[in-house]
Structures are given as structure tokens and as C-alpha cells.
Amino acid sequence: MNRRSDPLHAATPATPDRRRALEILREVFGYTQFRPPQDAVIDTLAAGGDALVLMPTGGGKSLCYQVPALLRPGMGVVVSPLISLMQDQVAALRQAGVRAAFLNSTLDAAQARDVLARLHAGELDLLYLAPERLLQDSTLARLAEVPLSLFAIDEAHCVSQWGHDFRPEYHGLSVLADRFPEVPRIALTATADARTRREIIERLALEQARVFVSSFDRPNIRYLIQQAPGSPRDALLRFIREHHTGDAGIVYCMSRRRVEETAAWLCAQGLEALPYHAGMEAAAREANQRRFLDEEGLIVVATIAFGMGIDKPNVRFVAHLNLPKSVEAYYQETGRAGRDGLPANAWMTYGLQDVITLRQMMAASEADEIHKRAERVRLEAMLGLCETTRCRRQALLAYFDESLDVPCGNCDTCLWPPETWDATEAAQKALSCVHRTGQRFGVNYLVDVLLGRDHERIRGFGHDRISTFGIGRELSAEQWRTLFRQLIAAGLIGVDIDGHGGLHLTEACRPVLRGVRTLELRRARPAPARSARRSRSSTPVETFDRPADRALWDALRALRLELARAQKVPPYVVFHDASLAAMVAQRPRSREALAAVPGIGAAKIEAYGEVLLEAIAAAASD
């Protein structure tokens, strides 16, 4: 393997640790280069320092502690909040030939004893534990008896009381600094905000740690946000059929009922969809999660309860049938797509009712003023992201105080620039209709008045005799609804607290009514989903244009599933999609050629080299 010709690392000072780290990366994990700042993080730990790593999902956090744990003498201890996360990580490490184990409640007494025996015999490179287990006196005492390479605290934002993943057990982890002052510690999280960062440093006693902050951009995720004129469900089905046949995906809905209905409906349309929400029995919920992880191509329809334990790397799409409450939530939920770095779609549809519901929630909130203001800012930002005519990614990153200089080219507004129109006059009509009808009616009624529809209710209120009756016939009902949505989103119209959807004017609308402010709004148009196909594809499968490639891809996926089932592990633990896709592209015909496939290290060549080469050869001779 021609390591010396590696241009990136030839220039860096090749300390013995660096060289050894690179060797581990290649031999064990099957990758050729570190992704910055992995190398710098590893240097820090190798030299005995502490680190705090803020990196987006899919950024490559695991290697930041796995490599130095193998590099340094002793065993690495990894604190992980969820059993499913530990199991997958350990299974994946074992596939790579690393001596890893976990200690948790799923082990019976004999299995736990066996892990402890290996710990004392120095036969473990990495041990995964839940914080409560680690903090037991007996565990701490045992750890004090063996050499330790490092402590890694994964999902470190769990220590933050502000976040929704708060776990009180994480607070106790500051004892590690006192009990093991000589063991380097690394905390990792995909949560970016400054407050969480400060809290992690303080609560985990990481004042001395070097802090590594990566860009939170997820370039492989394509952001698609559309207004649904028709039924959102139909739009979802079209989107899945056109782009994600056979792919795993997550569909987020606001309510449990909507989750159940949507899952059942997708199944009736011939897709494999499972529900997941907090109202289900724990066993059924866990079974569905397990199936999602273990099988290929399942869709989970879920409330936001479906989240942190999901480290499946090949979730190819995340769909939202409702608006999330904040940009943070949107970023986090969409971030579960494409962890493996391959193209993935974040698709969302929303409509007038979403905007009204969110506005109502905001108006009805009983939080104190400070929280209310924070809530309002968050909702504004979410609505702003939806209605923007700019690049979605630029808007998204700007929210996290990160700037992207040029439009991304991989979101709906970049791919299909929205048309705008001068909506000032129409807005004036809509606003004055709200005014003349007494600021208490909902959108449907107002649209009827604008269109001059003749019905009893309107006549009953005498609204067939006001000046705005019938002055809006140049637009359709749908167009008026879109306009109302935009006016509500822009804060020119407010929604009443009582929940009936009555609309009123806000201060902000005055300049528009008086004609001193013009309004350029996004023109509604049919869903752009169909044309999505023409631009660069979304999933690996879509990029395999040749039937032979497609056939090999299917064959390799089937082989992977078989290998995974035999070992009772999820398929992605055996190979990532990226490895299979590279095999399709490169068609390796020897063990040496296989070694060049990303993610295929020495242990995997040993275990699977023969069957892989056979499958590739068989496909070639077809």
C-alpha cells in the first residue's frame, strides 16, 4: 500500500504518534486520511491532553477517541447514554477487529463476569458504559486497577440542563477529573450552541481542554421545503416513490394520531412503514426501532420521541409532515439523514394550518416573558427559513452564526429559484378585509369575503356590503390562502389565542397598509419534486444508471444482510453503504484492490474478502 505518496500527510510533521495513528486508521478502519480536525484531536489526546469536540452528526466523532484509545497503552472507557448506541458501536468495532465490549443491563451475570475478567487481563481496547454504571463505586475501583488510555464522554450535551436530552447521571462525571487526573478526557457532541458548550466545560471540568469546533454544515443533505397545495400525504408518497424506493427513511409528524394514520396509510400504499411514538407500549416501540436498524429499506413514521438512539448511517431521507418548532429541532431531526456522508434528502411540506398552529402555540404560551421571547424568536426563525427566497443552507447556517459565502446549489431554492411577485396590493386587500370584518374571523371566511362568495354567514354579518367584499377575484382561493400564510408567517397578521384561528392586524402591517412598504413574496407553484430527478441524484442507487451496476449493488446488499443476520448485528455494522457503493464503482478483483475500498480494513478482508470477491466476479460474468 503506497502510503508514502499520500500528499496530505506527507507535509505534516510525521511524529511517531501521527504515523502510528495513520497506520491504525488504514489497517483497522480502512480509511486513507483523517478528516480535520480528527488528526488534531488525536494529537491532543496522544499527548495526554483533554479535548472538547463539537462536530455535526456524521462528522466522524467516533474515530477521535477510538484511534487514540488504540494508540495509547491501556483501555479506553467510553461513556454512552443509550444501550442501542453502545451495542452498535461495539459490534462495529468488533467487525474491525478491535477488542471492544460493553457493560450494561442487557448482559447476564456470566457475560458481565467475562467482560470484567477481560478488563483485568488487559484484553480490552475499549469498554462502553452508561454513566450510572461507570459511577458505581465498584466500577470506579476496578478501573483504578487497570491502565487506562482515555475517557470519552459521548453525547456530552446530555450534561446540559437546557437541552432536551438532559441526563442527571452525566453530572456525576466530573469525578473522573479528580479520580483519574492523569487520564486524558474527551467530550463529544453534535450540539453547537454556545450555552451548551459552556455547560459541558463547566460540569465536566474541562477548563483545560482544547476545544475543536467544526462547521455544522451537512453538505450531503439536500434541503427541500415546499408548500403543499394538495394533500401533504400524497406529496410525501410521490416524493418517496420518485426518489427513495427501497431506502430507509424517517417521517416526522406532530401528533401520535397522525403518526398512526400516516404509517397505516403508507403501508396501504405498498410501502413498509412502522409507527413510533411515546404513547406506544415500550416493547412495541423498541421492536419497531430494532427492525428499523436491523432491516434495510424500512420507513419509520414518528413523533420527535424517535431520536437520539438512531445512529443508523444510511437513513436516506427525513421527511417532515409538519413544521418543527424551531430551527434547532429542524436541524437535529433532518441531521439523522445521511450520516454516512452519501447524498440524502431532508424534505418538508407545510401549509397554512402549520403556520396558524405555531402562531397559536406562541400566543397561548404560559411561559414567563424571557422564555416567551426566546420561543418567539425560535418560531420566527423557523417560519423565516420556510418562507425565505434565499439559499436554505445559508439561512440555516446563519441561524447558527456560521456563514456560507455562496449559495449551496443543493437546496430547493438554489436548484429551482423561486419566483417572486409584488404582493403589496393583494396584501392591502387582505389586511383591510381583516380590518373591515372586525378582526375576528379565520382564513376561510376571509377568503370567501375577498372572493365575493354569497353565503348565509357572510350575509348574516352584513359582510356582503363592505368594501372588501368581492375585491379579490383576481386570485384563486388557494392563492389567497398562500398569501395569508405568508402574512401570518411574516407577522403582519396575528392569530388569536383562543384556538379558533381568528386573525387580527399587528403593528407591523401598518407600513404595508399605508403603502410605504412593498412586499415581495414567493410565488406559490406546483411541487418541484418531479424535476428533482434531473439534477444530481439523491441516493446511491439513483446514481447507478447501468443495470449491471444496479444488479451488483443489490447483490452486495443481499450479501451484507445475510452476513449481518448470521451474526445478529445490523447490516451497517458489517459494511457501510459507502463501502458497497465504492465496490460497485471500482469492482475490486483482488484482496489488494479490496483494501483500497473505504471502510474495509484488515479484519474485514480476512473475514469477508472471499465472499465479496466472489460476488463481484459473479456479477462481472453475468
Please list the alpha-helical segments (H only) found in 96-183: 109-120, 131-134, 137-144, 175-179
Q: 609 is in the binding site of which of ligand ADP, Zn ion, none (Cβ under 5 to 8 A by kind)?
A: none
Binding mask 469-508 for ligand ADP (x = CB under 6 A): ----------------------------------------
**If binding is defined by CB under 6 A, does position 540 make contact with ligand ADP?**
no
Stretch that binds ligand ADP, among 33-41, 111-119, 449-457, 478-486 (CB under 6 A): 33-41
All three cell numbers of 582: 465504492
52: phi then psi, degrees, rounded to nearest 5: -120, 125
Q: 61 is in the binding site of which of Zn ion, ligand ADP, none (Cβ under 5 to 8 A by kind)?
A: ligand ADP
6: phi then psi, degrees, rounded to nearest 5: -65, 110
132 and 160 Cβ atoms separated by less than 8 Å: no
Residue 242 CB, nearest distance to Zn ion (Å)? 20
Residue 89 CB, nearest distance to ligand ADP (Å)? 9
Binding mask 326-355 for ligand ADP (x = CB under 6 A): -------------xxx--------------
Q: Which is nearer to ligand ADP, 211 or 237 (CB)?
A: 211
* Burial zone of 254 (CB within 10 Å; 0-12 exposed, 13-18 middle, 19+ buried): middle
Which residue, among 413, 369, 370, 385, has the nearest Cα to 325 in the 3D structure?
385
Residue 199: half-sphere exposure toward Cβ, Cα within 13 Å? 18
Q: Which is nearer to ligand ADP, 233 or 604 (CB)?
A: 604
**If binding is defined by CB under 6 A, does position 82 make contact with ligand ADP?**
no
Residue 471, amino acid: I
229: phi then psi, degrees, rounded to nearest 5: -75, -40
Residue 404, amino acid: L
**If binding is defined by CB under 6 A, does position 570 make contact with ligand ADP?**
no
Evaluate the omega torsion of the peptide bond into residue 547 and state whether it is cis, within 30 degrees of 0.
no
All three cell numbers of 588: 475490486
Q: Which is nearer to Zn ion, 77 or 532 (CB)?
A: 532
**If binding is defined by CB under 6 A, does position 577 make contact with ligand ADP?**
no
The per-residue b/e assignment along 38-63, b for 16 or more CB within 10 angstroms, e otherwise, is bbebbbbbbeeebbbbbbbbbbbbbb
427 and 485 Cβ atoms separated by less than 8 Å: no
Q: Which is nearer to ligand ADP, 58 or 163 (CB)?
A: 58
Q: Exactly one of 62, 262, 288, 334 binds ligand ADP (CB under 6 A); which one? A: 62
Residue 25 CB, nearest distance to ligand ADP (Å)? 6
Q: 60 is in the binding site of which of ligand ADP, Zn ion, none (Cβ under 5 to 8 A by kind)?
A: ligand ADP
Binding mask 277-316 for ligand ADP (x = CB under 6 A): ------------------------------------x---
188 and 152 Cβ atoms separated by less than 8 Å: yes
Residue 32 CB, nearest distance to ligand ADP (Å)? 7
Residue 218 CB, nearest distance to ligand ADP (Å)? 10
Sign of CA dihedral 213, 219, 225, 231: negative
Q: Which chain residues interact with ligand ADP by CB under 6 A?
A: 31, 33-35, 38, 55, 57-63, 313, 339-341, 576, 598-599
